Structure 1
Amino acid sequence: MPMAAHEIEALIVASIPDARVEMTDLAGDGDHWAARVTSETFRGMTRLKQQRAVYAALGERMGGVLHALQLTTAVPE
């Protein structure tokens, strides 16, 4: 069963409390998502470390229950 947007967002915010998460259903099937995660926590981190932090928040769900995630990370302007 695919993960709902609010479940993905909740996992990210639980790990990165100041994160603003914007979810987009890419295929309309609830199984292929795009997420834009903006957090002050990312300031000074490389893009790779930012993305690793988000994937760590999702844990073992990535590649399992969560089939596909197009991820963009940013710091607030």
Structure 2
Amino acid sequence: MAMEAQQIETLIREAFPTAKITITDLAGDGNHYAAEVIAEEFTGLNRVKQHQLVYAALKGRMDGPAGELHALALTTKAPE
């Protein structure tokens, strides 16, 4: 099952309301996306922890073979 870019952004925005979020569909199939998330909440956190927070915001949509989202390439950082 495919997922729309807007759904991904909405889930991330719920966790990071003031973040700058850019979602790109990499393959045009609704399963392979890239996301750039710039959020104050990432200040002082390493990239692994930042990515864990974003994956948690997706509320299981990437879990296992039945997940709605197959691949998400993440770029995360705190604002400069």
3-state SS of the aligned residue for 2:30?
Answer: coil
In structure 2, the gaps of 5 or more residues are none
TM-score of the two chains, using structure 1 as the length reference? 0.93
> Alpha-carbon deviation of 1:44?
0.5
In structure 1, the gaps of 5 or more residues are none
Give the Cα–Cα distance (whole angstroms) in 2 for the partners of residues 21 and 5 of structure 1.
11
1:75 has 2:78 as partner = yes
Q: What's 1:18 paired with?
A: 18
- Greater helix content: 1
> Alpha-carbon deviation of 1:65?
0.4
Contact 1:22/1:35 (CA < 8 Å) preserved in 2?
yes
**Percent of aligned pairs sharing the same letter:** 56
3-state SS of the aligned residue for 1:2?
Answer: coil
Aligned length, in residue pairs: 77
Post-superposition, which runs of at least 4 consecutive aligned residues in structure 1 deviate over 6 A? none
Q: What's 1:28 paired with?
A: 28
